[in-house]
A and B are shown apart, each in its own frame.
Chain A
Amino acid sequence: MRAFTYTQATDASAALHAALQNPEAKYIGGGTNLVDLMREEVERPNEVIDINALPFSQIEVLPDGGVRLGALARNSHTANHPLVRQRYPVLAQAMLSAASPQLRNLATNAGNLLQRTRCYYFYDTTAPCNKRQPGSGCAAIHGVNRIHAILGTSEQCIATHPSDMAVALAALEAVVQVQGANGTRRIAMEEFHRLPGDHPEQDTTLGRDELITSIDLPALPSTANSLYFKVRERPSFAFALVSVAAVLELEGEQIKNVRLALGGVAHKPWRARTAEEALLGKPATAENFRQAAEAELQTAIAYEHNAFKIELAKRTIVRALLTLAERQLLA
């Protein structure tokens, strides 16, 4: 591991100042991703700025009825918080499906959004990788790409974003609150992560020195039901092959409101707008769900080892929506 200096920031402006001073510095939250990457020599900061003392750990109700999740609140605390469990089951389920209890006890909410891809080649500094080293090529596109993306890929990168939490946040239309040298700004979840395009080295639209202070969740209609389904190769401590975050509200048998986001399929949490549009106002039937899923995955592209994800994504969408619909029709 490259030698680095350790700076402890006591408030946001000190942290921002330190980051502005040193373009090679990195913030550290729980460190469960950053330290891993430093050990593998993928990230090589010469300074880490510890932001754990910053006052961003609260979980509280917002005036508009939404809920604010502090950037530094731990994943386990967030997932188990009554406000989250009761109002946003999809988020609690997504977060509890991730990693392991030990990791969740350390991992912060902001760190979770900013965790980097698990693409094998990104993690191996001896392999070409445009995300790690722009211009070096993509080892995955003709390599072992079982865990890679099927939607929104580019010639430069076919990696997925690994976070479960972010998929739920996409379905919930969360807003990321950010503080930078020039003040604060809000980034809608859908704008926060990027597709790879020609710049796979950029995972998000966050500025290099910007700090995430919180993640705000808008209120959900009280009649909406939500859930998170994660299909993985091992029942815990494994990333999603495909996951679905779904929010559904029915009026009789008609779909009044639906939100769908997919994980494990793209460089960002994939908001399934096409499927949502296809479903609005339609009866909640298995055929309609399947048709919407087909429509959403129309543009999917398979690589050598991940073609199964296309069918798997469709089936998981249908299963998630059917489960929610059955629950509401039974209620």
Chain B
Amino acid sequence: MRTKEVGRPLDRVDGRLKVTGQARYTAEFPVEQVAYGVLVRSTIARGRILAYGTKAAEQTPGVLAVLTHENAPKRHPTKEFDPSDKEPSASPTTILVLNTDEVSWHGQPLVVVIAETLDQAEEAASLVRITYAPAEELAKLSMLDQKTEAFVPKKVLNEKPEVTQGNAEEALAAAPVKIDHTYTTPPYNHNPIEAHNTLAYWEGDDQLTVYDSTQYIFGVRKMLSEMFALKEENVRVVSAFVGGAFGSKGRAWPHVGLTAMAAKVVGRPVKIDLPRKDMFYMVGGRTPSEQRVALGADAEGKLQAVVHTGLTASSTSNTFAEHFSFVTRHLYASPNFLIQQKLVRLDMVPNTFMRAPGEGIGTFALESAMDELAYALNMDPIELRLRNEPEKDPTMHVPFSSRHLKECFALGAEKFGWHQRNPQPRGRREGPWLIGQGTASAFYPANKRSAEVKVKLSIDGTALLQSATHEMGTGTATVQAQNAADQLGLSVEKVRFEYGDSLLPKANGSYGSTTTITVGGAVELACEDLKRQLLRLAVKHPSSVLHEANYDDLEARDNGLFYKDNPTRGETYAVILAREGKENLEAQASFPPFLKEKLEEMAYSFQSFGAQFCEVRVHEETGEVLVSRWVGVYDCGTILNDKTARSQFLGSVTMGIGMALWEETHWDLRDGRIPNASLSEYHVPVAAGLPRIEVYSLGIPDPHTPLGAHGAGEIAVTGAAAAIANAVYHATGKRIRDLPITPDKLL
């Protein structure tokens, strides 16, 4: 197939709508008679509710209802999101808030106030009083204090919590060169610019429509159908545009079910838009982690032992163990591995995916440790990594579908000027500023999920794609229009993509950097089906130039099917359809085609790679750190659109810098309060703190994935924090193993 649209740095198809304010986000859908809901948070982390004082709230003008567990309609328990389910529910937890008197975390919504206007609802909510019976046992709020209760969970996502190969501890003890350290990362919270919003209304008793800022429409539908005992098809979930998600919107947090419940009670549409503070308390974030990485190498730098063990937290009401150890299972060769994850349960809001879950924090530990080992060996850190390139996946023992980490380092080192670097720490300064450079590998799996796509070709030469996938600002609508344009030989302006509605063909959640391959694969299959149908129509007619054609002889081009070896011989779709008296033709396909997928999945290890390079300036006296340069090179297959992919890389590096230097959720260990639950005190990245970020992708197709592509949404977060910590060490001679790298740690 000739590539025309795929790869082009096409502007986003929805860019104009967005910058002119016409793109409609959840909170903006005009619905008649909408009422507003505001949630009251618990102020203890564990205990029981004794009584509510709701009189003053009920008497506030405009108030329609004040719901507590005493008067809220009963709902049905829902299954927690389980990645081994074919179509998991989006529920983050098994708890049904407002259907229980138990308090499981500080900030749990306990009361819903519904009023005519938002101000009235807020005012009334501020008047609600709640008394509690604190739990007999103290709330568990500190992961490190609960260490003794840590356990090995049954699974970590869909994988084993432990991998042992050979005897890593013995090999470590025997290794001539080794390092053994503990790395910690703090809790982080989600702060997409669009907060989580839900708008719900009922038609009759059994028809529910929900507008929701979600990256997993069918998961929300499943959860709501379970919660309200409805047929799945009686629940419609719409999510037209999403203002950033980064994992937070992969789950339907408690306000989603509460909005539907409130709409039922007041008998009119209800909208709940979470204020920023509630985003910290009612939407899960990233768990803290404590990780041990011990590496033993021979004198040549070949790894003999790799130990990566540690601890994360989940809540008392969910089971998600963030998979920090996955990176170590695939990145470097070693005869001996000891990998183990443990979990503790805390009285906190259920934790969840956050951009590059697992690998985001796992690479901080592993790639810092690799740098430490390089110094212990007196070896260039890139050289160390190259010496430990595995021939096959070191723990799965199958070949990589495609792996070009070496090329990433080669190109990155050249662009960055790495080989001019004097490896000696504290070797460069400008006045009080110490200057250092660091590097790290990036790693993220190239997973796929499932999606269905319908394509409808019209006689006027336009095509409509439909799939209930999501547009979170990533560019899905744009790249899939490009993809379909190539598959069908149309120009991209002729392709329109409808998404974000459960009335459309089913798609899985858009997370884990899977959407591009998954939806892309389904588009490819649907288009193929369509082209085969078109050919069958043409073949019937002796008068058609395609009468004798085989599918493989043809290509889609110039709005029709043409012989590959004779560019002028063929027929346009308009001719084929007109002859049949058809206005249009449809095809629908699912990805992955089940059997083929299973076999490939087992035969290869699908991973993306990258090399991160950065320069930092550290103020010797005040400990301030500025990142002054960035070069990143990524290996994630064919790039569908240079512009949208580049934006993903830039955004990811930015989030990686935020994670390394600024972001951190503080927990008040007395009662689980989050003191810095605001954008003023929770420091997300700002433009003034960012350097010029240079990003490159190798663009080498993966022979075993649709279009040769991998997702590109998360890879560039990984390794970023380690590259910075490594550069800080190079600048100052001080190794920071505890994120974020704030000035006090460098004093």
Residues in chain B near residue A126, CB distance under 8 A: 41, 43, 673
**A262 smallest CB distance to B (angstroms):** 14
Point out the residues of chain A lying under 8 angstroms from B119, CB to CB.
1, 3
| Chain A CB within 8 A of B621 CB | yes
B300-308, B328-336, B567-575, B675-683 - the one binding chain A? B675-683
Given A121-B675, A312-B743, A319-B432, do A234 and B689 touch, yes or no (CB 8 Å)?
Answer: yes
B557 nearest CB across to chain A (Å): 50
Instruction: Determine if B670 and A142 form an interchain contact, defined as CB atoms under 8 angstroms apart.
Output: yes
CA distance A282 to B681 in the complex (A): 41
> Once bound together, how far apart are the Cα atoms of A237 and B678, in whole Å?
13
- A218-252 to B contact mask, C-beta < 8 Å, 1/0: 00000000000001111111110100000000000
Specify which chain B residues have a CB less than 8 angstroms from the CB of A238 in the assembled complex: 683
Within 8 A of A (CB), among B588-615: none
Interface residues of B in 621-642 (CB under 8 A from A): 621-624, 626
In the complex where A144-B668, A312-B743, A312-B744 touch, is A123 in contact with B678 (Cβ < 8 A)?
yes
Bound form: Cα–Cα A146–B277 in Å: 20
Q: Which residues of A contact B622 (CB under 8 A)?
A: 231, 312, 315-316, 319
Across the interface, do A120 and B747 meet the contact criterion of CB distance under 8 Å?
A: no
Contact assessment for B689 and A231 in the assembled complex, using a CB-CB cutoff below 8 Å: no
- The answer to whether B688 has its CB under 8 Å from any CB of chain A is yes
Check B662 against A234 for contact (C-beta < 8 Å): yes
Interface status of A308 (Cβ within 8 A of chain B): yes
> Is residue A155 within 8 Å, beta carbon to beta carbon, of the partner chain?
no
CA–CA, A311 to B689, complex, Å? 24
Count how many chain B residues have C-beta atoms less than 8 Å from C-beta atoms of the other chain: 36
Least CB separation from A36: chain B residue: B680
Q: A144 touching B675 by the CB < 8 A rule?
A: yes
B626, A235: Cβ atoms closer than 8 Å:
yes
Tell me, in angstroms, the Cα distance from A236 to B683 when the chains sit together: 10
Q: Contacts A1-B122, A121-B675, A319-B621: A234 and B43 contacting too (C-beta < 8 A)?
A: no
* A118 close to B (CB within 8 Å): yes
Closest CB-CB distance, A289 to chain B, in whole Å?
Answer: 12
Judged by a CB distance under 8 angstroms, whether A58 is at the interface is no
Q: Which residue of A lies closest to B41 (CB)?
A: A126
Pick the residue among A146, A237, A318 that contacts B621 (CB under 8 A).
A318
Nearest CB of chain A from residue B619's CB, rounded to whole Å: 8
Residue of A nearest to B679 (CB): A237
**How far apart are the CA atoms of A305 and B648 in the complex, in Å?**
36
Residues on A with beta carbons closer than 8 Å to the beta carbon of B3 = none
Report the Cα distance A99→B689, complex, angstroms: 14
Report the Cα distance A123→B41, complex, angstroms.
Answer: 15
Residue pair B673, A236 in contact (C-beta under 8 Å): no
Chain A residues, CB < 8 A from B675: 120-121, 124, 143-144
**Chain B interface helix/strand/loop/mixed:** loop
Mask of B717-743 contacts with A, CB within 8 angstroms, 1/0: 000000000000000000000000011
A146 contact from B661, B666, B686, Cβ within 8 A: B666
Complex contact B668–A231 (CB within 8 A): no
B115-130 interface mask toward A, CB cutoff 8 Å, 1 = contact, 0 = none? 0000100110010000
User: Is A136 located at the chain interface by the 8 A CB criterion?
Assistant: no
Q: Are A143 and B670 in contact (CB under 8 A)?
A: yes
Report the minimal beta-carbon distance from A293 to chain B, rounded to whole angstroms: 12
**Are the C-beta atoms of A143 and B744 separated by less than 8 Å?**
no
Q: Is the CB of A2 within 8 A of B123?
A: yes
Which residues of B from 682 to 696 have beta carbons under 8 Å from A?
683, 685-689
Kindly state the separation between the CA atoms of A139 and B675 in the bound complex, as whole angstroms.
Answer: 10
Asked whether, in the complex, the Cβ of A143 is within 8 Å of the Cβ of B689, the reply is no
In the complex, what residues of A have CB within 8 A of residue B744's CB? 241, 308, 312
Interface residues in A95-135 by Cβ distance below 8 A to B read 118, 120-121, 123-127
Say if the beta carbon of A41 comes within 8 Å of chain B.
yes
Known: A120-B675, A126-B43. A231 touches B743 (CB 8 A): yes
Q: How many interface residues does A have (CB within 8 Å)?
A: 36
* B-side contacts of A2, CB under 8 Å: 123, 126
Interchain Cβ contacts within 8 Å, total number: 88
Looking at chain A's contact residues, is the secondary structure mostly helix, strand, loop, or mixed?
Answer: loop
Are the C-beta atoms of A3 and B123 separated by less than 8 Å?
Answer: yes
Do the beta carbons of A233 and B43 come within 8 Å of each other? no
Q: Return the chain B residue nearest A4 by Cβ.
A: B119
CB closest chain-B residue, reference A318:
B621
Interface centre among A1, A126, A319 (most CB of B within 10 A): A126
Contacting residues of chain A (308-322) with chain B, CB-CB under 8 angstroms: 308, 311-312, 315-316, 318-319
A4 shortest CB reach to chain B, Å: 10
In the bound complex, CA of A153 to CA of B77 (Å): 50
A144 CA to B742 CA in the complex, in Å? Answer: 16
Residues on B with beta carbons closer than 8 Å to the beta carbon of A143: 668, 670, 673, 675
* Inter-chain contact B678/A233, CB cutoff 8 Å: no
CB distance from A189 to the nearest CB of B (A): 25
A1-20, CB under 8 A of B: which get 1 and which 0?
Answer: 11100000000000000000
Give the complex CA separation of A146 and B43 in angstroms: 22
A316 to B680, alpha carbons, bound, how many Å? 24
Closest B residue to A241 using CB positions: B743
Known contacts A118-B681, A120-B676, A144-B675; A125/B686 CB under 8 A = no
Residues in chain B near residue A127, CB distance under 8 A? 673
Q: In the complex, A312→B620 CA distance in Å? A: 11
Q: How far, in Å, is A157 (CB) from chain B's closest CB?
A: 15
Knowing A233-B743, A312-B622, say if A144 contacts B666 (CB, 8 Å).
yes
CA distance A46 to B432 in the complex (A): 51
Cβ-defined contact, B742 with A233, below 8 A = yes
Least distance between B673 CB and chain A CB atoms (Å):
7
Chain A residue with the shortest CB-CB distance to B130: A126
- The distance from the CB of A16 to the nearest CB of chain B, in whole angstroms, is 29
Task: Provide the residues of chain B in CB contact with A316, threshold 8 Å.
Answer: 621-622
Nearest CB to that of A306 among chain B residues? B744
**Cross-chain contact A233 with B670 (CB below 8 angstroms):** no
A237 CA to B687 CA in the complex, in Å?
A: 10
Of the residues B123, B667, B680, B688, contact of A118 by C-beta under 8 Å: B680
Select one of A1, A231, A319 contacting B123, CB under 8 A. A1
- Please, how many angstroms separate the alpha-carbon atoms of A3 and B120 in the complex? 8
- Asked whether A308 lies within 8 Å of B123 as measured between CB atoms, the reply is no
Complex Cα gap A308–B668 (Å)? 19
Q: How far is the CA of A312 from the CA of B689 in the complex (A)?
A: 21
Q: Would you list which residues of chain A between 1 and 58 have a CB under 8 Å from chain B?
A: 1-3, 40-41
Q: How far, in angstroms, from A308 to B675 measured CA to CA in the complex?
A: 19
Asked if residues B681 and A120 are in contact (CB atoms below 8 Å), the reply is: yes
Question: Are A231 and B624 in contact (CB-based, < 8 A)?
Answer: yes
Report B464-502 CB contacts with A as 1/0, cut-off 8 Å: 000000000000000000000000000000000000000
The contact string, 1 if C-beta is below 8 Å from chain B, for chain A 140-154, is 001110110000000
Contacts A118-B681, A315-B621: A125 and B126 contacting too (C-beta < 8 A)? yes
Q: Cβ of B626: which chain A residues have Cβ within 8 Å of it? A: 235
In the complex the two chains form, what is the Cα distance from A236 to B744 in whole Å?
18
Residues on the B chain within 8 Å of A3, using CB:
119, 123
Of the candidates A120, A238, A319, the one having the most CB atoms from chain B within 10 angstroms of its own CB is A120
Residue of A nearest to B681 (CB): A120
Minimum distance in angstroms from A319 CB to a CB of chain B: 5
Chain B residues, CB < 8 A from A139: 668
Cβ contact within 8 Å between B621 and A236:
no
| Shortest beta-carbon distance from B288 to chain A in Å | 15
Q: List 8 A-B contacts (CB under 8 A).
A: A2-B123, A118-B680, A118-B681, A234-B683, A308-B744, A312-B622, A315-B622, A319-B621
Known: A124-B673, A233-B661. 6 other contacts (CB 8 A): A231-B623, A231-B743, A235-B624, A235-B689, A238-B683, A316-B622
Interchain residue pairs A-B with the least CB separation, the first 9: A120-B675, A308-B744, A236-B688, A235-B689, A315-B621, A144-B675, A234-B683, A126-B43, A231-B622
Binding site for A on B (CB under 8 A): 41, 43, 119, 122-123, 126, 277, 432, 621-624, 626, 661-662, 666-668, 670, 673, 675-678, 680-681, 683, 685-689, 742-744, 747
Residues of A within 8 A of B (CB): 1-3, 40-41, 118, 120-121, 123-127, 139, 142-144, 146-147, 231-239, 241, 308, 311-312, 315-316, 318-319
